[in-house]
Structure 1
Amino acid sequence: MTKKASLRSRVSAGVIISLASCVAYAYCPPQYQENTVAPAFQAAIASIKGSIVSMDASLSSILLMQSQRLSSAIAVMTKQKALSANQVSEATLNSTKMVAQGLNDISTAERLKKARFDYGGEFGQGYNPCKIMAGRNLIASRNADLSSELTKRVRTEIDSGPGKYASVVDARNVFTTRHQAYCTADEVASGMCKSEGTLPGADTNVATLFTPAMEGSDQYVAKNAFINNLAGIPDQPLPAASSKSADAQSYILDKNRRDALVSPALTALKDIQIDSSGIDGTETGKELPMSQLMDKEVKRYSGNSDGYTAWTRSLVSQNERGVIVEVLKVKSLELAQKARLYKQYEVMEAQLAALTALQAQAQVKQTEFSSQRAQTTTTQSVIQ
């Protein structure tokens, strides 16, 4: 028991001494050991600091490079998104424009189709509108042109026209020479003509007036010859020395009266000639006779012609407006025909007025003759 306690005491004392020695060594180390360990610690600390600084610089460089890459990537992505948005916007705009253009084209096409159907030559303007309009304009211009030609040709183409004088002998020679082109076989047989003419009897046949002919042709010359045969030989001119005498003045008055009475008939004959002849107009030049132009217009609507066949065929494709236009064209032609008929009535009225005046003049002459005869009879009775 005493030995165990003594041993424990010894061990405890040794441990305490050892711990005390370690603590004392730690606090008060030997000088030679600090000089050896301190430089190693300083070198290690410097190395560690250098490594830390190097690592910090490397990490900073890496972070900067990665930040730049990230910024560049973000910028590229932003640009790509902006480009994509612009492309989408542009594509949307182009698509919208194309849709709007398409709708506009469809609307324009619809309006064109409607206008073509309502006003086009195939459906809404009647039969061949350009041709019909040109023909109607030609007739209107030709009618005005020929009206101005009538007065001039009455004065220049009729030998015994109003106010014209000529030597009776010379006029007979002209008439005889002119008639040679119209001698008939009977006239040749009787010795009046040497040979048969190119147009036998044309200068004495009224059908010559109504035969269509162009100015300058033999048929047109025959029309002038026929009218001159009806008008007769012109009046003999008076000598200049006796033109102021009472007999001369009476002769001139009788000539003027006769010219006025005959003028309606001569004008009517010349009007028929001009209507059936292709004369040279002042404005329209040489053209088909007015009678043929009107005949073509009438036959288009009355039948029995190629124009009528084409006209009736075109009516099948016409809409309501086109048919109405055709009705108006027919009505306008009817008005033109009535205007021509009215003009003919005016000529007839002038002829009837001239005939009435001639009959009245003949009645006056008959009354004067009867009065003179009664006076002569009375005188004879008194003498007896």
Structure 2
Amino acid sequence: RQKIRDILDICKKTGCELRILPGVYQLINGDVSISNLRRVNIEDLLGREPVELLLNNVMAYVKDKVVMVTGGGGSIGSELCRQIAGYSPRQLIIFDVYENNAYDIQQELKKTHPELDLVVLIGSVRNTARINSVIAEHRPDIIYHAAAHKHVPLMEDSPNEAIKNNVMGTYKTAEAACRYGVKKFILISTDKAVRPTNIMGASKRICEMIIQSFNELSSTEFAAVRFGNVLGSNGSVIPLFKKQIEAGGPVEVTHPDIIRYFMTIPEAVSLVLQAGAYAKGGEIFILDMGAPVKILDLAENLIRLSGYVPYEEIEIKFIGLRPGEKLFEELLLNEEGKTKTANDRIFIGHPDPMDPLVILKKVRELGEEAKLERDIHEAVKAVVPEYTYKTQGEREAAAFCDGGDFY
């Protein structure tokens, strides 16, 4: 991968559209032909090897199990369903509030795995009766909890919805998992949960605290998986840049120095699946994703790979950090430390111990506060002390200075 990236760094300066030829031995053996030339993807420029999944471990704990994926129609959720379907689960339950996504993955899996016992259900994790009835009826052995609001700027504008959906949705799903004897519960988390500066990140940190608290109080093995930005997921930066390039620009970058950790959707899912194999209860799994990537470099590379010259044929416009955004994300709090697993790219973080009954009481109170549609930030900070945010007055002043209408 490093060599490919170095070669591409030279070739992209030619202004030609680039394609990658299959390996010469594949051509000689007749496995592929010249027609298998593919476009160069931004993934080719990450410059590191993909994280490998230990398939035997995964197959051992998924095979013949009833597996449920909340948010199963989303970018991560649907890829989880694709991979799980190949490991012979007894039944796969897809649970999603958005029927179009659920329908798409249902039709795909019916074609690719006609033998699969597939159940696709529409509903929200916010609905206590619905989530309890589904888990009570189907009695999943494993739940992958991917249902969440994830867009930082949107959640900054609707903070109570982040609490209702992410926090209370996780609380209700985890509580039902305990009640009906689910064996494993894997939460999809984010690097934005570390020292959060936005409500989405803070909500996911509370989700981590919820599953660690339930882990102390039940026989269900709860674990969380924390990773960075996923290339090509719904609403992520690469599809947005591609649309802007196709429209002739400008490509909008928030800040020239902003950096992010990136991984591919299959990598993200392999981490989630492998975490399930390793989970004994209470862990936060973290992926070593190599060096972070400058978003400006991604934008310039994508423009060149599309056959254009940055700043000449396609403009790059800096629009400023959005509300709640950091210049860089972290994967681990210093005090968490980390230990290795059998996969040298996956680590376990160890947050400070907490009183589970106190945490869950605070979460319930936070849920009640969110229903009142008042400013939720102080109540969130009471649960996550490291959460930092701008007050109402600071947000108004910033909007005024930017020449925008805050109201």
Same fold per superposition (TM over 0.5): no
Q: What is the TM-score of this pair, normalised by structure 1?
A: 0.20
Structure with a larger share of its residues in helix: 1
